[in-house]
Copies of this chain bind each other. A is one copy, B any other.
Amino acid sequence: MVDRRPLNSDPIAEARRQWEAHGWNDAADGMAAVTSLMRAHQIALSRVETVLKPLEITFARYEVLMLLHLSSRGSLPMGVIGSRLQVHQTSVTNAVDRLEAAHLVARQPHPTDRRTTLVEISARGRQVAERATQTLNAEVFTDPLLSSAPMRGVVETLRDMRQQAGDF
């Protein structure tokens, strides 16, 4: 164990020092940005999943549920769900399979286009969506760890990044 790094140092700051030591100065910021995103994502997801666990849903399913709950009709085609949430069609199929098994949503045929499957939220689905939102709001989203003023800047910068990437 010949680790000369100071204890309790930030692994990402350490990686940046390595990058700069190798002369990759142009890439150091980008490397730090990508790595930071990975870790922060993991932390945030973990906190959210912990809170949602008692309700027996995951964040992926919560997103689907809320999209339906807040939609004007309480139902959306599979494809639209994928577009809004920016996930692959097969991920939507997966999430809806599980939500349907839990009786939180139901697949319905589209009235005019038989290719399309409508996903409709159930009464129980709405209950779970509301309870989940209440808990998430209280225990995660209002936490200063994530709602501090600088975090608004993060949201703005990431919005630009997403837009550049063609996210919307």
Contacts and interface: CB of A to CB of B under 8 A. Distances in A.
Interface of A: 1-4, 8-13, 18, 24, 26-34, 36-45, 47-48, 59, 70, 72-73, 80, 84-87, 133, 136-138, 140-143, 145-148, 150-165, 167-168
Contacts of A73: 2
Contacts of A9: 168
B11 A34 contact: no
Nearest to A87: B42
A74 to B, nearest CB: 12
24 contacts: A1-B80, A2-B72, A10-B163, A11-B85, A24-B141, A27-B147, A28-B147, A30-B143, A31-B137, A33-B44, A33-B141, A33-B147, A33-B154, A34-B44, A34-B141, A37-B41, A38-B44, A38-B59, A39-B167, A40-B161, A43-B162, A43-B165, A145-B161, A150-B153
Contact of A141 (B4, B30, B39, B156): B30
B8 A142 contact: no
A146 B151 CA distance: 17
Given A36-B159, A157-B151, A8 B146 contact: no
A137 B2 CA distance: 28
A34 B12 contact: no
A31 to B, nearest CB: 5
Given A142-B26, A161-B145, A164-B145, A151 B39 contact: no
